[in-house]
Amino acid sequence: MTTTTLITGANKGLGHETARRLVAAGHDVWAAARDAERGSAAAEELGARFVQLDVTDDASVAAAAERVAAESGRLDVLVNNAGIVGRRVAVPDTTAADVGAVLETNVLGVVRVTQAILPLLERSDDPAVVNVSSGMGSFAVTNDPERLESTIVGLGYPASKAALTMLTTQYAKALPHIRFNAVDPGYTATDLNGHSGTQSVEEGTDAIVRMARIGGSRLTGTFVDRAGVVPW
């Protein structure tokens, strides 16, 4: 049976490349994006189906879930990819509103989408959720002087990704029949970092694609990158 997959933030960057690779792997892909014009253009180019989905908007998320239910009947893989870095500002000048905006998208957005999609995942024989976290959310990586992530200091983004990784392991414990795994793409050239990332989007999507394609595996509650396990 064809694997039906929804990817948030699929109009560009890692989400777009994930969609391209999963379409090539034979998945029936819903390329979700908040902007209808850019999203539908990307979906058409990818050979995917477009659905409008703003992860910060309850009504948009509910409508997207209804549309997928009506047209696909179920979902096998959800890739929670949409994310933002937020306003680039020094730590002492960072406000609660700055942090809140990042948490709204990167953390609450994932809960909003996951909760709305869960009934569709429950209809799959082999459901999986891939949460696109970051080494910036790892206590170990951000405190390892050998890692670039230890030199980047901020509040909202690292806190949001640490929370997302924790959400992943808690979902995995609560719902053992669904695979929930967090991935760190690694530092990848996209709009998120002004294309300063050192990896290509293909390298950056290796772990996402792997976790989206481990059908039948019991691997859940893990945090991995393209090289293997990421320390918490």
Taking the complex as a whole, the smallest distance from the CB of residue 10 to ligand NAP amounts, in Å, to: 7
Q: Can residue 168 be called a binding residue for ligand NAP (CB under 6 A)?
A: no
Distance CA 151, CA 115 (A): 35
| Residues 120/69, Cβ–Cβ less than 8 Å | yes
Share of the chain residues as helix, strand and coil, in percent rounded to the nearest 5: 50, 15, 35
| Residues 132/165, Cβ–Cβ less than 8 Å | no
Interface with ligand NAP by CB under 6 A: which range of 166-174, 179-187, 209-217, 219-227? 179-187
Residue 114, number of CB atoms within 10 A of its CB: 21
And the tokens for 68? 């997928």
Taking the complex as a whole, the smallest distance from the CB of residue 2 to ligand NAP amounts, in Å, to: 24
Residues 120-159 that bind ligand NAP (CB under 6 A): 132, 134
Taking the complex as a whole, the smallest distance from the CB of residue 46 to ligand NAP amounts, in Å, to: 13
Distance CA 4, CA 143 (A): 38
Residue 12 annotated among the catalytic residues of the structure = no
Interface with ligand NAP by CB under 6 A: which range of 3-11, 20-28, 88-96, 173-181? 3-11
**What is the total residue count of the chain?**
232
Residues 203-232 that bind ligand NAP (CB under 6 A): none
Q: Which H/E stretch holds residue 171?
A: helix 156-174
| Residues 28/72, Cβ–Cβ less than 8 Å | yes
Taking the complex as a whole, the smallest distance from the CB of residue 119 to ligand NAP amounts, in Å, to: 21
Residue 171 annotated among the catalytic residues of the structure = no
Q: Can residue 79 be called a binding residue for ligand NAP (CB under 6 A)?
A: no
Q: Which residues are catalytic?
A: 157, 161
Binding residues for ligand NAP, rule: CB under 6 A, are: 8-9, 11-15, 33-35, 53-56, 81-84, 105, 109, 132, 134, 184-185, 187-188, 190-193, 197
